[in-house]
C-alpha cells in the first residue's frame, strides 16, 4: 500500500489526483502532517508526500531504521512539477515509484541514486536475492575499477561493466557460501526441490528435511525456485506450509506425468499410495535439469518411520528473448514495458533504423547487433542464438512486434529451451486510425500488399474476401518502387463492392515529426502519393467523413444515410 500525505490545498489536489488514478494501491492519510507521516511510515510499503523535501526529511529522520526495511518515500512539490525519490530508492522501490508518479501526474521524476544516474543497473534491483557488499561493489563499478563476474551458473543479466579479473567480484551462485569483503553474491533461482510426504506429515519435518538436505549439499535456500510434488499431495498441509515458509510456489504434476520420468531410486511405496514409483525425484526432474541430491528421507527423533522425502535438481539457466514492439515511432507511444525490456537486455538485435530510435534508452555496455532491410530471418536466428547462449536478448520491431514484424520469424526459430516474452506495441494501423478519426470503429482487417513472401494470388483472395464481407481494410506495405501495381489492383477489387465516395485515409510516418495525413475517397485516391512508409485505410459502406475525419459507426444505422446528413447521423450514433 502507498500512503499519501499532504498539508495544503494545492498538495491535496495533486494527492487526490493520484488517489483517483490508483484507487487500489493508495490510502490517503489525513490529519496533522506529523501524525500522518508516522502512521503511514509504520503501515505502508511506500509513501508519497506532497510536501517540501526539507519538511519531509525532518519528519522522517526520527523514524528511520534499516535501509532494507524502511519504506520507499517520494516527495512531490505542491505545484506537481517534480517527483523526487527521497528514501529507499532501490530497496524501497522509490526510484521506480517516482517514475510512475511522474507519468501519472505529469511531473518530472528526480532520481539521484548513483547507478541510476549513469544508467547502470543496481545490483540490488536485478530481481535476484543478494548478499554481501552491494555498496562497495557498486561504488567500484561507478568508479571504473575492475569488477570480476564469476558466473558459477548461467543466468541472463542486464549489461554490467565487468571484467574477467578484478579486486571486486560479483558472483552468480547457488552455493551456500559467505560473501567476501569485496563481493556480492547473486542467487539465481536454479534449484527445484521435489517433495513427497505421508498423509499428515508435520510441516516441521518437511521443512527440516529440505533445509537439512540443502545444507548438507552446500546449497543456498535463496536459490530454491519451487517445491514440486504429485497432484495428490497438492493440499498436504506439511508440504504447503513448507513452501510458504520458503516463500516459493508449490508446483504439482499428475501421477501419470511423474511415472514417465526416469529416476535412480524408484519405490513400490509411492506407486501403491499415489500411482507413481517416484514422487520426490520425479517431481524435481519433471521440468528438466540435473539431479544434484538424490532422494533423502527425513529422520525422526522418536525413531518412527520417516514421513517425508525430498530430492534436489539444478536446472540450467535459460536465456531470455523479449520480442519488443517499439510502436509507430513517437517516443511517447513507446510503452513503459518496452522501455523496461530494452534496459534489461544485455543484447539488442534489430533493424538499424529502429535501433537508432531507442539507442539512448540502452544501458551502457549493451551489445547491439543491427542489420539493414531484408535481413529479418537472419535477425530472428541471431536473437534466438544469443538467447540460447544464456543472454537476456531484446529483438525489436516497429509497431507491434507480432504484426508484420519480428515475433513470427523469431518464434518459428525458438524452441522451449529459452524463455520468450512478447511486449505489445501500438501498431501502425492504430496510430493511423487515431490520426484519421475512428475508421476502425467496426470490424476491420489488416492486409499486407507485399508479395515478397506471400503469392499475389493469396493476397488478392484475401482482399476480395474483405471486400465481400464489407470490412474496413488497412493496407500495410502498400506500394514501393518495385511494386507499384498491387495497390491499384487491390483498390479496384474494393471498388467492385463500394461506392467511389467511400472515405479512404492515407497516413505517412504516423506519429513521427514528418507525419502527414489526408482523407480522400476510393475514387479519388492517387496511388502515386503512397509509399512504404504509408498506411492506407479504406472504409466500409458505413464509413463517413465527418468534419474532415473518417468515422465508421459501431452499428450499421448509417447504411441508408446519405453523406449529406452524415454529420447528424454521427451525432445521433455518438449519444
pLDDT, residue 574, reads 40
Grid coordinates standing for 13?
489536489
Mean pLDDT of 357-383: 91
Q: Is the pLDDT at 336 greater than 60, yes or no?
A: yes
State the pTM of this model.
Answer: 0.75
pLDDT, residue 477, reads 93
What confidence tens digit (pLDDT) does each residue in 10-39 have? 888 888 989 999 998 899 999 899 999 999
pLDDT, residue 529, reads 94
pLDDT, residue 445, reads 97
Where is mean pLDDT largest: 65-69, 143-147, 557-561?
143-147
Grid coordinates standing for 498?
463500394
Q: Is the pLDDT at 324 greater than 60, yes or no?
A: yes
pLDDT, residue 304, reads 82
Q: Is the pLDDT at 570 greater than 80, yes or no?
A: no
Mean pLDDT of 398-417: 91
Q: Calculate what percentage of the chain has a pLDDT beyond 70.
A: 96
pLDDT, residue 571, reads 40
Interacting residues of 404 by C-beta distance below 8 A, sequence separation 6+: 446, 448, 476, 477
What confidence tens digit (pLDDT) does each residue in 337-351 have? 999 899 999 999 999
pLDDT, residue 114, reads 67
Q: Within a 10 A sphere around the Cβ of 95, how many other Cβ atoms?
A: 23
pLDDT, residue 557, reads 58
What is the bridge-based pairing of β-strands 367-371 and 347-351?
parallel
Long-range contact list for 113-120, CB < 8 A, 24+ apart? 113/85, 113/89, 114/138, 114/139, 114/142, 115/141, 115/142, 116/89, 118/142, 118/364, 119/363, 119/364, 120/160, 120/161, 120/363, 120/364
Tell me how far apart the alpha carbons of residues 387 and 156 are, in angstroms, rounded to a whole number.
Answer: 8
pLDDT, residue 567, reads 45
**In 3D, which of 124, 133, 74 has the Cα closest to residue 104?**
74
Angle (CA) 425 427 429, round 5°: 165
Q: Is the pLDDT at 562 greater than 60, yes or no?
A: no
What confidence tens digit (pLDDT) does each residue in 144-176 have? 889 999 999 888 988 888 888 889 999 999 999
At which residue does the C-alpha cell 506425468 appear? 257
What is the bridge-based pairing of β-strands 82-87 and 46-50?
unpaired
What confidence tens digit (pLDDT) does each residue in 115-144 have? 666 677 788 878 889 999 988 998 898 888
Q: Is the pLDDT at 111 greater than 90, yes or no?
A: no
Question: What mean pLDDT is reported for the chain?
Answer: 90
Q: For 76, list phi and psi in degrees, rounded to 5.
A: -115, 130
pLDDT, residue 319, reads 92
Q: Is the pLDDT at 545 greater than 50, yes or no?
A: yes
Mean pLDDT of 187-194: 96
Q: Is the pLDDT at 87 greater than 80, yes or no?
A: yes
pLDDT, residue 573, reads 42
Q: Calculate what percentage of the chain has a pLDDT beyond 90.
A: 67
pLDDT, residue 142, reads 84
pLDDT, residue 503, reads 97
Mean pLDDT of 209-220: 97
Amino acid at each position: 500500500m502507498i500512503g499519501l500525505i499532504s498539508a495544503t490545498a494545492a498538495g491535496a489536489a495533486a494527492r487526490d489526483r493520484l488517489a483517483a488514478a490508483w484507487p487500489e494501491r493508495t490510502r490517503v492519510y489525513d490529519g496533522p502532517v506529523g501524525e500522518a507521516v508516522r502512521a503511514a511510515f509504520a503501515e505502508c510499503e511506500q509513501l508519497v508526500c506532497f510536501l517540501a523535501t526539507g519538511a519531509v526529511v525532518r519528519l522522517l529522520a526520527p523514524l528511520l531504521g534499516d535501509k532494507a526495511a524502511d519504506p520507499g518515500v517520494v516527495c512531490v512539490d505542491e505545484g506537481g512539477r517534480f517527483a523526487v525519490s527521497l528514501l529507499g530508492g532501490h530497496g524501497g522501490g522509490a526510484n521506480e515509484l517516482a517514475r510512475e508518479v511522474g507519468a501519472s501526474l505529469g511531473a518530472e521524476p528526480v532520481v539521484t541514486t548513483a547507478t541510476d544516474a549513469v544508467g547502470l543497473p543496481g545490483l540490488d534491483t536485478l530481481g535476484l536475492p543478494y548478499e554481501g557488499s552491494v555498496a562497495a561493489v557498486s561504488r567500484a563499478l561507478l568508479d571504473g575499477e575492475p569488477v570480476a563476474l564469476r558466473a558459477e551458473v548461467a543466468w541472463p543479466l542486464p549489461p554490467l561493466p565487468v571484467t574477467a579479473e578484478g579486486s571486486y567480484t560479483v558472483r552468480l551462485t547457488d552455493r551456500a557460501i559467505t560473501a567476501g569483503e569485496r563481493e556480492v553474491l547473486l542467487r539465481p533461482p536454479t534449484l527445484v526441490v521435489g517433495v513427497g510426504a505421508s498423509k499428515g506429515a508435520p510441516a516441521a519435518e518437511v521443512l527440516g528435511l529440505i533445509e537439512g538436505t540443502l545444507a548438507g549439499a552446500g546449497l543456498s535456500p535463496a536459490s530454491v525456485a519451487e517445491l514440486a510434488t504429485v497432484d495428490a499431495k497438492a493440499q498436504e498441509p506439511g508440504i504447503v506450509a513448507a513452501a510458504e515458509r520458503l516463500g516459493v510456489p508449490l508446483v504439482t504434476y499428475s501421477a501419470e506425468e511423474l511415472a514417465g520420468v526416469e529416476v535412480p531410486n524408484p519405490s513400490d511405496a509411492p506407486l501403491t499410495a499415489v500411482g507413481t514409483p517416484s514422487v520426490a525425484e520425479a517431481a524435481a526432474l519433471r521440468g528438466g535439469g540435473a539431479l544434484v541430491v538424490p532422494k533423502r528421507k527425513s529422520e525422526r527423533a522418536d525413531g518412527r518411520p520417516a514421513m517425508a522425502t525430498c530430492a534436489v535438481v539444478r536446472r540450467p539457466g535459460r536465456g531470455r528473448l523479449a520480442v519488443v514492439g517499439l510502436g509507430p515511432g513517437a517516443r511517447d507511444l513507446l510503452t513503459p514495458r518496452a522501455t523496461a525490456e530494452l534496459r534489461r537486455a544485455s543484447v539488442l538485435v534489430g533493424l538499424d533504423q529502429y535501433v537508432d530510435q531507442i539507442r539512448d534508452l540502452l544501458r551502457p555496455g549493451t551489445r547491439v547487433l543491427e542489420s539493414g532491410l531484408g535481413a529479418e530471418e537472419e535477425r530472428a536466428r541471431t536473437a534466438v542464438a544469443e538467447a540460447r547462449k544464456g543472454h537476456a536478448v531484446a529483438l525489436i520491431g516497429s509497431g507491434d512486434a507480432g504484426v508484420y514484424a519480428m515475433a513470427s520469424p523469431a518464434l518459428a526459430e525458438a524452441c522451449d529451451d529459452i524463455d520468450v516474452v512478447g511486449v505489445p506495441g501500438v501498431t501502425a494501423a492504430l496510430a493511423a486510425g487515431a490520426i484519421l478519426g475512428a475508421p476502425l470503429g467496426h470490424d476491420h482487417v489488416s492486409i499486407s500488399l507485399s508479395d515478397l513472401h506471400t503469392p499475389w494470388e493469396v493476397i488478392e483472395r484475401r482482399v476480395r474476401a474483405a471486400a465481400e464481407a464489407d470490412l474496413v481494410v488497412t493496407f500495410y506495405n502498400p506500394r514501393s518502387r518495385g511494386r507499384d501495381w498491387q495497390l491499384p489492383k487491390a483498390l479496384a477489387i474494393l471498388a467492385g463492392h463500394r461506392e467511389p465516395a467511400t472515405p479512404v485515409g492515407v497516413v505517412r510516418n504516423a506519429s513521427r515529426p514528418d507525419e502527414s495525413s489526408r482523407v480522400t475517397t476510393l475514387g479519388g485516391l492517387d496511388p502515386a502519393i503512397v509509399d512504404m512508409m504509408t498506411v492506407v485505410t479504406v472504409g466500409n459502406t458505413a464509413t463517413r467523413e465527418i468534419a474532415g475525419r473518417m468515422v465508421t459507426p459501431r452499428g450499421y444505422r448509417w447504411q441508408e444515410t446519405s453523406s449529406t446528413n452524415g454529420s447528424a447521423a454521427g451525432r445521433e450514433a455518438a449519444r
